[in-house]
Structure 1
């Protein structure tokens, strides 16, 4: 069954009004007809089973058959702070992070980031990544569309992470798997968790020290060196497994 997102303002009494590019997608790509059923999420953790009533001008009108709270969201909010990688790796990272339950993805310009984006290029990239996040949220049946934030500098990212309950920074020179397991097992459902992942080449030692001074815990992901596009997804997978109820 197809799945669409709207804002709460597009849900009026027993009707849902879909607007924008989704209307063309419904009519001309999916060729959805009157009477066909679909699922709609309002981005506020409510999901609706709907039936298409018809198309009016630039909107699709759906009648609500059933409303329920979405049960696909973790009680904890996971924030992935991803060091900017090369090529199109960020596309994959955003897609899979959304599938694995990330609440936000924050691209971070670190000292070893090869990619350097000016404001115009960064804005276009972020727009693309948010489009990927929306598609992934639909595919995964998410109750919300996770946001990809504007690119932050490393100090900005550390400042942003101060609002979180727990911040973890996997680091290839960190030691002690038992200590890492204890850190993860101590996380409680409902806590907000930040994960800092370095770009190709990893973090500089000074960046790790700055994160630890800001309250982050340096952890190990084992004896193997993971690629930047693997490390964050590995952490999200572990946390999803631990925190899923």
Structure 2
């Protein structure tokens, strides 16, 4: 839901949400709904069903409490086939703030044209939107246009804590690192594609302050590594280990 759809005590539901409400849920006048937008939950009642929109009256507004104070950005090396769709869906459920696809040296999957990138981005953003709705997120995480590894490192280094899981690291785990970062509000995770990272890429990240970590003795698939890293960071520094308040 866009903020432009809210005004004068009413919410105007359009496009996919309208189609879903009208054709799938068979919404009726006086039905009560909860609409999420900009970190707030709007309780609304359907006032009018038009040909291309549903107009609702706002009856209550409450802050949405499903968003963590820790904003984690996942920088995901482009995987093969439809793995990116699974990564987006599950990481949105886990609470990721945004996801940035990254083109590393060992990426097998390549985006060769701007049109291809735009098509994939539209698909990925739709998946993020559907996942956010399913788990009552207060925001829809943004899926970025694919960037280079160098650009990813520059972006990731701006977070208060940035890590890069690496299969050749065995001494330092995430738990060893996070003890010094309690109370932070931003984090980033850089995940490699199926073939992993080149050593020079890891060195580039370390030179910009990104911390190299291990995810344990077993080598994880790229679609698993991001979910595990995010889960651990959200548990240690975010809201996954806390009860609802």
List aligned pairs for 1:161-172, cutoff 5 A: 161-172=156-167
Match of 1:221 among 215, 221, 232: 215
Mapped partners of 2:131, 2:16: distance in 1: 16
1:35 aligns with 2:30: yes
Distance 1:7 1:124 in 2: 21
1:198 to 192, 201, 218: 192
1:44-83 matches, within 5 Å, as 44-83=38-77
- Name the residue aligned to 2:3: 8
1:77–1:190 Cα contact (<8 Å) kept:
no
- Is the 8 Å Cα contact of residues 166 and 191 (structure 1) preserved in structure 2? no
Structure 1 runs, 4 residues or longer, greater than 6 Å off:
none
- The normalised TM-score by structure 1 is 0.93
Task: Give the length in aligned residue pairs.
Answer: 238
Summarize deviations over 1:192-218 as a string: whole Å, max 9, x none.
Answer: 111000000111111000000011000
Instruction: Classify the secondary structure of the residue corresponding to 1:102.
Output: coil
- The alignment's TM-score, normalised by the length of structure 2, stands at 0.93
State the alpha-carbon separation in 1 of the partners of residues 151 and 58 from structure 2. 43
Distance 1:163 1:180, change over 3 A: closer
Q: Distance between the aligned counterparts of 2:51 and 2:168, measured in 1?
A: 59
1:165-201 CA-partner distances (Å, limit 9, x unpaired): 1110000011214x53221232233421110000001
Aligned-residue Cα RMSD (Å) equals 1.3
SS in 1 for 2:181: coil
Give yes or no for the alignment of 1:241 onto 2:235: yes
Q: Does the 8 Å CA contact 2:170/2:217 hold for their aligned counterparts?
A: no
User: Are the equivalent residues in 2 in contact too, given 1:110–1:153 (CA < 8 A)?
Assistant: yes
Deviations 1:106-155 (A, max 9, x none): 00000110011122211111110000000000001100000100000111
Query: Secondary structure, in 3 states, of the residue corresponding to 1:112?
Result: coil
Give the SS at the match of 1:186.
helix
Matches for 1:100-139 after TM superposition, within 5 Å = 100-118=94-112, 119-139=114-134
Do structure 1's residue 85 and structure 2's residue 76 form an aligned pair? no
Partner secondary structure for residue 76 of structure 2: strand
In structure 2, the residue corresponding to 1:141 is in which secondary structure? coil
